[in-house]
Amino acid sequence: MIKKIHTYSLEETKKLAQTIGSKIQGKTLILLSGELGAGKTSFTKGLALGLEITKNVSSPTFTLMKNYVGRLPLNHIDAYRLEGHPQDLGFDELFDEDSVTVIEWPLYLMDELPEDCLKVSIEIGEGDTRIFSFEAIGFTHEALIKDLL
């Protein structure tokens, strides 16, 4: 299932992600793609709100991964710095946990990722407009985007 949604402000982007986060009930893998500045971390901040995480979410670019506690645990991975450096970092253990894992720049980890996931591609439009393409693979992930606009 593929769904496209436009947002016209940072707040709308966060609200969209918050709605998705509030629907998550268990193990979920979200792969976020988009150029620098597209809003991957902003999307993750909104998702965290939906997961009832109160701690400020920031980009894990230099730490590779940050973990947050809420209604469900959130693992936020930024694989940007892994380009050209394939290695086993043990992320596969995260995919067996009852948690939400968000991976920015997933193309650098594709060989390590399970097929069942929600792929989110963010395209920058004019001004603050963002075009989200959601591709759900697997029943759990399809349910997350089924009722979105």
Q: What is the pTM (predicted TM-score) of this model?
A: 0.89
Give me the CATH code for the 2-83+91-145 domain, please. Answer: 3.40.50.300
C-alpha gyration radius of the chain? 14
Where are the chain's structural domains?
2-83+91-145
pLDDT of residue 78: 84
Residue 60: left if φ>0, alpha if ψ -120 to 50, beta else—which one?
alpha
- Segment 61-120, tens digit of pLDDT: 667 788 999 999 999 988 776 655 555 555 666 666 788 999 988 876 777 777 888 999
Q: Estimate the crossing angle of helix 10-23 against helix 40-50, to 10 degrees.
A: 40
Range list of H helices, 1-149: 10-23, 40-50, 139-145
Q: Return the ∠ at Cα 27 (arms to 25 and 28), rounded to 5°.
A: 90
* Residue spans of beta strands (DSSP E) within the chain: 2-7, 28-33, 65-68, 74-78, 100-104, 117-124, 130-137
| Token reading at 89 | 């970092």
How much is the average pLDDT of 51-59? Answer: 91
